C-alpha cells in the first residue's frame, strides 16, 4: 500500500514513522540517500565554487567519480545502506542530495531550491520517496528553503538558518510552525549569504558535541547552543570556507569528515571518536562536501 503524499496532521500529533526518520543528527545511521555523480560539474553559484574558478582549478570528472566511490565505500564500511537518486542529465548539482529534502521523525519534507539549475531536483527526490514508500511529512510551499540550512540537533530541538537567498524567512517559518505544532523547539537563525548554508558554519559530530566556526557566527547562536548543553569544537574561518564543518555523524562515536579537514579530524580523534575521512576535494571545490551530498533516511532514536 502506497503512502499518502502528505502525512502531517494539521495542529500537530503526527505519528512517528515506524521504519524511517530521524530525531537527531547523531543517532546511529542505518540508511542514507545520496545524489548521483553522473552529471556533476562545477557551477559558480556560491563563494566556494567562485573561488575555485578564480584560482584557476580544473574539474576532473574521473577524479570526482573516484572520490565519490571512496565516500560511498566509507558509508558501507560503517554499516550504512546507501540509496542513490536516479540521475537526470539536466541536473549538474543533483549530487548534493542534502538540499532537495530533509528527514524528520514523521517522514520527509520536500524542499524548494533557489538556483534555477537546481529546481528540478525535487522531481527525482519526490519519485524516490514515493517509490520506496517512505512517508512524506509535507512539501514546503512558502518559498525556497534548502536542506543544508536545516538540522535536527537533538530530540525536541531543531534549527534552520536562512540568508534571504538560498533559504528565505517565510519558508523557514512555515517549517518552524509545523515543528512547533508537534511540540518541538525550533530555532531560526539569519546569516550572511556569503556562507551559503548553515552547514558551512556548523555541524553535529556526536551527542551534545558540535563543530562551529565561532568567528563566523553571531554570539547569540553560540550562547543558544551552550544553553542546550551542546559543547563546541571550534574551527577557524579558513577551515569553514574549505567546508571544514561539513561533516556527517554516523553514531556510536563515529563521524565522516572530508580528509582535507585536518584540524577537525585531529580534534575528533583527541575526543576518542572514530573518523572516516574520504577525499572529496574534487567535489567540494564545486561548493559542497560530505554533508551536502547526503540525507539521512533512518537513524536510531536517541
Contacts of 38 (CB under 8 A, 6+ apart): 87
**Pairing mode of beta strands 209-212, 248-251:** unpaired
- CA gap 285, 40 in Å, rounded: 12
Domain 29-299 is found in CATH 2.60.450.10: no
Q: Return the pLDDT at 44.
A: 74
Q: What is the maximum alpha-carbon separation in the chain?
A: 53
State how far the alpha carbon of 180 is from the alpha carbons of 74, 230, 291, in Å: 36, 21, 25
pLDDT tens track for 218-235: 999 999 999 999 999 999
Q: Transcribe 193-242 into DSSP letters.
A: GGG-SGGGTEEEEETTEEEE-GGGS-HHHHHHHHHTT-EEEE--HHHHTT
- CA gap 103, 152 in Å, rounded: 9
Edge-to-edge strands, sheet with 294-299: 81-84, 29-34, 294-299
Q: pTM of the prediction?
A: 0.95
Q: Return the pLDDT at 261.
A: 95
User: Looking at per-residue confidence, does 46 or 258 come out higher?
Assistant: 258
pLDDT tens track for 57-91: 789 999 999 999 999 999 999 999 999 999 999 99
Q: Cell triple for residue 34?
A: 545520496
Q: Return the pLDDT at 51.
A: 73
pLDDT band at 49 (very low <50, low <70, confident <90, very high): low
pLDDT tens track for 134-191: 999 999 999 999 999 999 999 999 999 999 999 999 999 999 999 999 999 999 999 9
- CA gap 216, 189 in Å, rounded: 13
Amino acid at each position: 500500500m502506497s503512502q499518502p503524499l502528505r502525512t502531517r496532521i494539521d495542529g500537530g500529533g503526527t505519528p512517528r514513522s515506524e521504519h524511517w526518520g530521524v530525531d537527531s543528527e547523531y543517532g546511529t545511521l542505518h540508511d542514507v540517500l545520496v545524489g548521483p555523480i553522473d552529471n556533476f560539474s562545477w557551477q559558480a553559484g556560491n563563494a566556494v565554487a567562485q573561488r575555485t574558478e578564480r584560482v584557476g582549478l580544473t574539474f576532473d570528472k574521473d577524479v570526482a567519480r573516484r572520490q565519490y566511490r571512496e565516500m560511498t565505500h566509507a558509508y558501507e564500511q560503517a554499516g550504512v545502506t546507501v540509496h542513490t537518486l536516479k540521475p537526470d542529465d539536466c541536473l549538474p548539482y543533483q549530487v548534493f542530495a542534502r538540499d532537495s529534502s530533509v528527514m524528520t521523525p514523521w517522514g520527509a519534507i520536500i524542499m524548494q531550491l533557489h538556483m534555477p539549475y537546481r529546481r528540478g531536483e525535487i522531481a527525482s527526490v519526490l519519485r524516490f520517496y514515493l517509490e520506496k514508500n517512505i512517508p512524506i511529512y509535507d512539501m514546503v510551499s512558502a518559498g525556497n528553503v534548502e536542506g543544508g540550512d536545516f538540522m535536527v540537533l537533538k530530540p525536541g530541538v531543531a534549527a534552520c538558518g536562512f540568508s534571504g537567498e538560498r533559504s528565505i524567512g517565510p519558508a523557514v517559518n512555515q517549517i518552524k510552525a509545523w515543528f512547533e505544532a508537534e511540540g518541538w523547539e525550533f530555532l531560526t537563525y539569519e546569516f550572511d549569504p556569503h556562507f551559503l548554508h548553515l552547514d558551512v558554519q556548523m555541524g553535529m559530530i556526536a551527542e551534545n558535541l558540535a563543530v562551529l566556526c565561532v568567528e563566523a557566527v553571531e554570539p547569540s547562536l553560540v550562547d543558544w547552543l551552550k544553553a542546550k548543553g551542546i559543547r563546541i569544537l571550534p574551527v577557524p574561518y579558513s577551515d569553514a570556507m574549505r567546508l571544514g564543518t561539513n561533516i556527517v555523524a554516523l553514531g556510536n562515536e563515529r563521524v565522516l569528515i572530508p580528509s582535507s579537514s585536518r584540524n577537525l579530524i585531529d580534534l575528533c580523534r583527541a575526543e576518542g571518536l572514530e573518523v572516516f575521512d574520504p577525499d572529496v576535494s574534487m567535489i567540494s571545490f564545486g561548493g559542497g562536501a560530505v554533508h551536502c551530498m547526503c540525507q539521512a533516511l533512518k537513524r536510531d532514536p536517541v
